[in-house]
Amino acid sequence: MKPYVYITRKLPEDTIVELTEHFEVKMWNHEDIPVPRETLLEEAKNADALITMLSDKVDKEVLTAGENLKVVSNLAVGFDNIDLEIATKQGIIVTNTPDVLTETTADLAFALLMAAARRIVEAAEYVKGGKWEGWSPYLLAGHDVYAKTIGIVGMGKIGEAVARRAKGFGMEILYHNRTRKLDAEKELGAVYSSFEDLVSKADYVVSLAPLTEETRNLFTADIFSKMKNSAIFINVGRGPVVDEQALYEALKNGEIAAAGLDVFEKEPISADHQLLQLPNVTALPHIGSASTETRTTMIKLCGANVKAVLSGDGPKTIVNKEVLK
Ligand code: DGY
């Protein structure tokens, strides 16, 4: 019998031919609707491999549902949706999709920064809504990006790619990270800062931090109160690093000027959420890496990881290396 691969979303057939040629492959039959929990649990009982989305909760129940599971291949660079400790304990390899999405996600982060700064979405809706009656000096005036200070929280590969874009805009670059990035300091003039220093000095505070126990609720009311009143907060990392109630208060009370958010505490965010009622919030539906080219490359990488593990070769982008020991 061929090993069984279950994919939790409908993906284009041509992106998974490598898998269908070698394994028995089944997919959840919707592109946009997540696999129901019961289906995932049922499929996990028999699966040798799962290809999962960042919206799937891959917890102990899923990881211990069957006895064949060897690899969980997550279609994202982040893997906070997976209980890594249990996976490792169970000897299950977890893989992600780093590197291939770096530039695409940095493009989105910078686009969101620009959109929030220059009120692009608001201005486009203004024209389409028939509100434009004439030119005036401060009509939809936003904030400059050129020569301002950007503060990047989470200086991984995507953070560095955002910093390269910021350098092109003549920005001063501050960053905060668990480890110093000496190359970025040398090549981009990025300056390592304490978290408190960064949030108080930056005109644009950009969070690219992954979700971990240390980063959960990192951006509290106290942190927003330290930011400049003209600061713009951008989040393209993970929603739960932000206390959303605190962010709402800070935006509403003018403690900060605006926010550009691609990620939220609970996704999808409901249209009546208080944050979405604020005119100074630009919100996107978690599309950081969503270019057609990059998503296709990510899917192929997920397939390559599954194929490698099920064929007894080393996975390309493993997250829990300890499992191989
Ligand atoms: C990821 O890959 O973790 C990103 O959030 C996708 O946009």
Residues 79 and 112 in one domain: no
Number of domains, the chain: 2
What is the pLDDT, as a whole number, of residue 325?
Answer: 85
Query: Does 305 lie in the same domain as 279?
Result: no
To test ligand 1's pocket by mutation, which of 56, 97, 105 has the most ligand atoms within 8 angstroms of CB?
A: 105
Ranges of residues in the chain whose predicted pLDDT is under 70:
none
- DSSP per residue over 208-276, as a string? -----TTTTT-B-HHHHHHS-TT-EEEE-S-GGGB-HHHHHHHHHTTSSSEEEES--SSSSPPTT-GGG
The structure tokens listed for 243 are: 């206390």
Ligand 1 pocket test: which of 289, 297, 301, 302 has the largest number of ligand atoms within 8 Å of its C-beta?
Answer: 289
Determine whether 176 is an active site residue. no
Q: Are residues 320 and 229 in the same domain?
A: no
Ligand 1 atom at minimal distance to the Cα of residue 79: 3
Furthest-apart CA atoms within the chain: distance in Å: 72
**Active-site hit among 43, 238, 244, 255:** 238
Please tell me whether residues 234 and 141 are part of one structural domain. Answer: yes
238 is catalytic: yes
Full residue range of the structural domain in which residue 200 is found: 102-283
Closest by CA position to 55, among listed 267, 204, 320, 233: 267
| CA 254 and chain centroid, separation | 27
In the reported structure, the alpha carbon of residue 76 is separated from the centroid of ligand 1 by a whole-number distance in angstroms of 5
Nearest atom within ligand 1 for CA of residue 287:
7
Shortest-distance atom of ligand 1 to CA 78: 3
Side-chain half-sphere CA neighbours of 45 within 13 A: 6
Q: Which residue has the tokens 């300091």?
A: 185
Query: Best mutation site among 52, 58, 97, 101 for ligand 1, i.e. most ligand atoms within 8 A of its Cβ?
Result: 101
Could you tell me the CATH number of the domain that includes residue 76?
Answer: 3.40.50.720
Closest-CA residue, ligand 1 atom 2, reads 76
Instruction: Indicate if 266 and 205 belong to the same structural domain.
Output: yes
Query: Within this chain, do residues 271 and 147 fall inside the same structural domain, yes or no?
Result: yes
Q: Could you tell me if the CB of 162 is within 6 A of ligand 1?
A: no
Question: 126 C-alpha to center of ligand 1: Å?
Answer: 31
Asked whether 205 and 199 are in contact (CB, 8 A), the reply is: yes
Contacts 24+ apart (CB under 8 A), 160-163: 160/184, 160/188, 161/102, 161/103, 161/105, 161/106, 162/106, 162/109, 162/110, 162/206, 162/208, 163/188, 163/190
Looking at the fold, whether 194 and 139 belong to one and the same domain comes out as yes
Residues 129 and 43 in one domain: no
Q: How far apart are CA 144 and CA 318, in angstroms?
A: 41
Distance 136 CA to ligand 1 centre (A): 40
The CB of 177 under 6 Å from ligand 1? The reply is no
Q: Are residues 179 and 303 in the same domain?
A: no
Quick one: 248 and 170 in the same domain?
A: yes
- One domain for residues 273 and 318: no
Residues 13 and 152 in one domain: no
Does the beta carbon of 158 lie inside 6 Å of ligand 1? no
